Copies of this chain bind each other. A is one copy, B any other.
Amino acid sequence: MGNSFGEKFKISTFGESHGAAIGVVIDGCPAGFTLDLANIQQELDRRKPGQSNITSARKEADEFEILSGVFEGKTLGTPIAIIVRNKDAKPADYDYLKEAYRPSHADYTYEKKYGIRDHRGGGRSSARETIARVIAGAIAKQILKEKGIEIYAFVKQVGTIKLNKHYSELDLNTIDNNAVRCPDANTAAQMISAIEQVKKEGDSLGGIIQCVIKNVPAGMGEPVFDKLHAVLAHAMLSINAVHGFEYGSGFEGASRKGSENNDEWINDNGTINTKTNNAGGILGGISTGDDIYFNVAFKPVATILKPQQSVNTKGENITLQNEGRHDPCVLPRAVPIVEAMAAIVITNYEL
């Protein structure tokens, strides 16, 4: 049914955008682990709306409550259930959507699949579901941190503004230094200004997030159908609005010759390593020990304030005029989501 992800560190999420709560059950978290609760809240705060003037204005404290699996601050090895109550839910705001199909939203397809839908803010199809992922991902990152594994995601492109530097040239500890989460001050400024511009227009922008995972030991991952990069792609494409994934030399590598793209093995002072890393840290679906890196493409968010033509459930032409809030660019808020999903994938192997 698609509401769970992972096997050893398995997360199952539930909740609609304007229902009682969004929640996650984490099954497989190691026992005896001391959770850093403040850090979980920090990650939720990186995702929450209203954190800057380039994101949605929906007001949600997004405070979490632990229902099970933790005793005296430590994990029990039993399922950890955590919920966040939906508070800024104004169902009446959505009455005009009861019978409308919004362009590039899932209203129509949910109705075709289920014969029923919660029209309030997209119901289950809302990106509000990612709260659950960020909670689980925060815990996964805490587990990985103990093992020295670090995960960095940052905004590499917004609309047509691109960060044209290799990640090794950037200080990945400065990602959160600006509202757009691009670790290059000049590019960040351009991105912010582009977002402010479309915000004024009532429009939105897509972009690309790059993610780098450091210190993954060699030998992690399963070959054949569950290659490490295939599972990462699955995880990333499961995030709302994502339309593409590439790792290592990716789409650009498709135009190369083998002699250009192959990574020679070298003896690096006693350690076997490769001269280049076009493989993106993965060969045959298994980690090489080098950095894993990949790009995730987001379409521009579908909700815009400009009037749009559409049809209603009776097939009649309508003009949609969203007068509420909108998120001109989700990428800054999607950074912790990409990190969360990457952490969940890796934790599944590390346990």
- A83 to B108, Cβ gap below 8 A? no
* Residues on B with beta carbons closer than 8 Å to the beta carbon of A283: 104-106, 108-109
* A178 contacts partner chain B, Cβ-Cβ < 8 Å: no
A255 contacts partner chain B, Cβ-Cβ < 8 Å: yes
Complex Cα gap A238–B204 (Å):
33
Interface centre among A114, A222, A235 (most CB of B within 10 A): A114
Closest to A5 in B: B225
Most chain B beta carbons < 10 A, residue from A231, A249, A251, A278:
A251
Question: Does A234 sit within 8 A of B, measured CB to CB?
Answer: yes
A157 contacts chain B at the CB level, 8 A cutoff: yes
Question: A99–B321 Cα gap in the complex (Å)?
Answer: 64
A13 an interface residue at 8 Å Cβ cutoff? Answer: yes
Interface residues of A in 231-276 (CB under 8 A from B): 231, 233-238, 243-251, 253-267, 270, 272, 274
- Binary contact track A179-208/B, C-beta < 8 Å → 1, others 0: 000000000000000000010000111111
- B285 lies within 8 A of A2 (CB): yes
Stretch in A42-50, A55-63, A139-147, A293-301 with 4+ CB within 8 Å of B: A293-301
**Chain A residues in the interface with B (C-beta under 8 A):** 1-5, 10, 12-16, 19-23, 25, 27-28, 31-32, 65-71, 74-81, 83, 101, 103-106, 108-110, 112-118, 123-125, 129, 157, 159-160, 198, 203-208, 218-227, 229-231, 233-238, 243-251, 253-267, 270, 272, 274, 278-280, 282-289, 295, 297-304, 306, 308-311, 315-317
Instruction: Report which of B15, B67, B75, B304 forms a contact with A19, defined as CB distance below 8 A.
Output: B67
* Inter-chain contact A109/B287, CB cutoff 8 Å: yes
Q: Can you report 22 residue pairs joining A to B where beta carbons are below 8 Å apart?
A: A3-B27, A14-B69, A31-B115, A71-B118, A104-B279, A106-B223, A108-B265, A108-B283, A109-B285, A109-B287, A110-B286, A113-B286, A124-B223, A160-B255, A203-B257, A206-B258, A225-B235, A233-B234, A251-B297, A258-B303, A270-B315, A272-B315
Residues in B whose Cβ lies below 8 Å from that of A317: 266-267
Inter-subunit contact B223/A245 (CB<8 Å): no
* Chain B hits for A224, CB < 8 A: 2-3, 13, 124, 129, 238
Which of B23, B109, B249, B259 has a CB less than 8 Å from the CB of A68? B23
Chain B residue at minimal CB-CB distance from A253: B299
> Do the beta carbons of A284 and B78 come within 8 Å of each other?
no
A265 CB contact (under 8 Å) in B20, B32, B311: B311
Docked-complex contact A1 and B19, CB < 8 angstroms: no
Q: How far is the CA of A78 from the CA of B118 in the complex (A)?
A: 10
